[in-house]
Structure 1
């Protein structure tokens, strides 16, 4: 007499090969289908929401290039190699950064990277004013805008670098990228006591392009961008975008509303999570909330 749970010759109910075939019999054929599998697994409580978001972040990183996530040169905080400690220390304290590109005459000539911690041995020295910044510099990693983010993360880990200077095709400095920028794409925003709430929701990428959380209050969005979206129509910028589409958009879809272009960077079946916002060239923003 046979039954449905008949064992294979080696005594197990199913052979390893049978399990593998079963597991991949309906394997996703694209990244979009893989995301759908992750959403379904989350709906069935097979994985946590945080796990799904992290895996989606890994998928997003695989498509990105450095130019998509770099801090533009206009937002770089640098130190000139000719400055004394007394001259650049206020800049270091105000920015609260731990690493600073050191320039020679202009931003296109990067001499190296100064780590704030390398100044600690001189903090209580009477000779602090005589410190030669050039003697404390670490080598700068130089990468092109077109470099993919995924191999850059590998380079960071292998070379033990935390920051890279990004250059364009002519060798001019376009911006910089840190390992934290990449990790935030995967695990979400890494907040510290120096982060401003608004800055965590609205982030300048380059030029007229910004990354905005879909749950950003529409009032905050309007004040930051000097825009006039109807605050009675939706509470968040994501709501305005959803209303504009008229359906739940997929990652990569874009729409232009009142000359603002909104591109969906990440989403699931129920909601939009991150947006890439491109503002009109002639549009001036406040860049802050009113008091």
Structure 2
């Protein structure tokens, strides 16, 4: 075979090996969600790629058979052609045995280098950059190769499956998408400028709905404004004027004896019509939604949807009212600091290194504002007040403090054993240790 014919044949082998390499990496790297979107948009080739990914052993086996066969054939051919050329050229300068050695080494280096560059590195880089676009274009030729090599594919794939099964590994790639995966993608999008900062924060907050429980966002018992059923019309009017809320719990004697709630719009309608707003009857009363404090915010939203309510009272295991939560509270948590009015901020920055923090501030809000990775055993409490009690192992008093993650958390205001306010100060490394 002439030098030109051999070179053309090797070039053809390189092209075929490059095709197998780009096919292997693009089929392996193609994202299932992207392929499903392409399929839904009408690209039938994406469905073929998904079918191959469901049985990765088939195309991996076919590709490896082809790659190894081509590499061996190219090595043999290159050795027989280029070795002789280099040997003949070197005879004029070195001895015959040395020239033969140089010919063998040179032919090996030349053929191997060309294969590494043109048949492996460059195709795989292209396959990684545009995996889905490449995969849909090469899927039919690869399916043809799998069909042609079916007997060998069946043998080698069966042997590899047997080994993988003995190792206790799954035969196919797991495509389960976890919360961490989505957050990682959102973070990457934020760094790349594709996802806005507010959108990134909203995505993180959405997943916190499954982790945060009612106490992290509710109005605590001490701050609930409720109406006694036996109160006079004048007292009810004054209470609504002083506390312009949309809805008020209605109780009998004390807050733990809940009998329903009243909507301030109904009160206003009766006032405008000149009718009584007494709650002694059942005309203005509505059934209140009562939920346990152990529910997550996501579960509370599900109850709101089922009951068609946006307001619920939260009770503990002893059936005592511990708080009140509304859809606005959950929305505020989702929207973050931008949603909270200035006079309602729970975290107020005094200077570059100190903050005044309300005792009922959720731990997650502090982690975000102070950029703290995590609080210890954060499944044991919801608020910064709970953190202080958990760490101190007592009911804190004024000036009690805890140092964590480079910050000093000091109690500055107590109201009947309830932590009203803390001073959070950044401390240097020497003091934090």
| TM-score (structure 1 length as normaliser) | 0.65
**What is the distance in 2 between the residues matched to 1:54 and 1:139?**
33
Instruction: Tell me the equivalent position of 1:108.
Output: 256
Q: Is the 8 A contact 1:64 1:149 kept in 2?
A: yes
Cα drift, residue 85 of structure 1: 2.4
Judged with a 3 Å threshold, the aligned counterparts in structure 2 of structure 1 residues 286 and 105 are, in CA distance, closer, same or farther, namely closer
- How far does residue 105 in structure 1 lie from its aligned partner after superposition? 0.4
Per the TM alignment, residue 19 of structure 1 is displaced from its structure 2 partner at its CA by 10
Q: Alpha carbons of 1:113 and 1:281: their partners in 2 closer, same or farther (altered >3 Å)?
A: same
Tell me, in whole angstroms, the C-alpha distance in 2 between the residues paired with 1:5 and 1:173. 63
Which residue matches 1:205? none
Shift of 1:73: 0.6
| TM superposition shift of 1:167 | 0.9
Q: In structure 2, what is the equivalent of residue 44 of structure 1?
A: 192
Question: Between Structure 1 and Structure 2, which shows a larger proportion of helix residues?
Answer: 2
What pairs up with 1:131-280 in 2 under 5 angstroms?
Answer: 132=280, 134-188=282-336, 191=339, 197-199=342-344, 201-202=345-346, 212=347, 216-218=348-350, 249-252=372-375, 259-260=400-401, 280=411
Deviates more, 1:155-164 or 1:122-131: 122-131
Gaps (5+ residues) in structure 1? 203-211, 226-236, 243-247, 265-274
Q: Per-residue deviation at 1:154?
A: 1.1
Alignment equivalent of 1:17, drawn from 41, 50, 60: 50
> Structure 1 CA distance, aligned partners of 2:373 and 2:331?
23
| Greater relative contact order (CA < 8 Å, ≥ 6 in sequence) | 1
Shift in alpha-carbon separation, 1:282–1:98, aligned structure 2, 3 A: closer
C-alpha distance in 1 between matches for 2:263 and 2:232:
15
- After superposing the two structures, state which structure 1 stretch, 150-159 or 13-22, moved more: 13-22
- TM-score normalized with structure 2 length: 0.46
SS in 2 for 1:217: strand
Mapped partners of 2:221, 2:241: distance in 1: 20
Kindly indicate whether the alpha-carbon contact (under 8 Å) linking 2:349 and 2:356 is maintained by their aligned counterparts in 1: no
**Structure with the larger strand share:** 1
Matched, 1:96 2:247: no
CA change 1:65–1:129 in 2 (3 A) is closer
**Corresponding residue for 2:234?**
86
Displacement of 1:168: 1.1
**Partner secondary structure for residue 103 of structure 1:** strand
- Measured after TM superposition, the shift of residue 152 of structure 1 is 1.2
CA contact (8 A) 2:401 2:409 kept: yes
Cα RMSD of the aligned pairs, angstroms, is 4.4
Post-superposition offset of 1:28: 9.0
Local SS of the residue matching 2:272: coil
Shift in CA distance, 263/190, structure 1 to aligned 2, threshold 3 Å: farther
Deviation string for 1:89-133 (max 9, x for gaps)? 122122221000011100110110100111233223334366756
Q: Do the aligned residues in 2 keep the contact of 1:85 with 1:129 (CA within 8 Å)? A: yes
- Alpha-carbon contact 2:271-2:277 (below 8 Å) kept: no
Determine the C-alpha separation between the residues in 2 that align with 1:160 and 1:48: 33
Contact preservation (8 Å) 1:28, 1:34: no
Q: 1:125 and 1:111 mapped to 2: Cα distance?
A: 25
1:81 and 1:134 in contact (8 A); partners too: no
SS at match of 2:313: strand
| CA distance 1:57–1:100, shift in 2 (3 Å) | same
Q: How many residues align?
A: 241
Deviations 1:233-273 (A, max 9, x none): xxxx999x96xxxxx632446898x7455889xxxxxxxxx
The answer for the alignment partner of 1:267 in structure 2 is: none
Within a 5 Å distance, the mapping from 1:121-136 to structure 2 comes to: 121-128=269-276, 132=280, 134-136=282-284
Q: Label 1:263 to 1:89 Cα distance change in 2 as closer, same or farther (>3 A).
A: farther
